[in-house]
């Protein structure tokens, strides 16, 4: 097993509007991308568990052309809300780092 942080070239998060965050996982080569994509290690149920969401709130979209996987989740608080601690959504990717990939 390998950790996602050791396989991906980039793991980042960013705003996807005021109510959503996009998590991007990008790979340096096609073989590694396909390994992760085909393993099923990145799935809605696991992402939901890591972020305290329901699996139907999580969208996981592989992009073969870009060798990347895009995950979209709802924000806990709208961007800019007084309770929002990450206006740009740039600090939300850490739970993905420890995903184990066979």
Structure confidence at residue 21 (pLDDT): 98
Structure confidence at residue 11 (pLDDT): 98
68 within some domain: yes
Structure confidence at residue 57 (pLDDT): 98
What range defines the domain where residue 14 resides? 2-76+91-101
Across the range 7-35, mean pLDDT stands at 98
CATH number reported for the structural domain that contains residue 7 in this entry = 3.30.70
Using one digit for the tens of pLDDT, what is the confidence trace for 35-64? 999 999 999 999 999 999 999 999 999 999
82 within some domain: no
Structure confidence at residue 30 (pLDDT): 98
pTM: 0.94
Residues whose CB falls within 8 Å of the CB of residue 2, separated by 6 or more in sequence, listed in order: 100, 101
85 within some domain: no
Structure confidence at residue 4 (pLDDT): 98
40 within some domain: yes
36 within some domain: yes
C-alpha angle 89/24/59, rounded to 5°?
90
């Amino acid at each position: 097993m390998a950790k996602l942080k050791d396989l991906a070239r980039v793991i980042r998060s960013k705003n996807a509007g005021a109510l959503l965050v996009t998590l991007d996982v990008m790979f340096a080569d096609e073989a590694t991308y396909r390994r992760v994509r085909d393993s099923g290690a990145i799935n809605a149920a696991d992402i939901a568990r890591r972020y305290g969401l329901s699996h139907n709130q999580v969208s996981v979209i592989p992009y073969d052309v870009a060798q990347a996987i895009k995950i979209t989740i709802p924000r806990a608080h709208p961007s800019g809300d007084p309770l929002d601690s990450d206006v740009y959504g740039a600090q939300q990717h850490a739970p993905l780092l420890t995903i184990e990939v066979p």
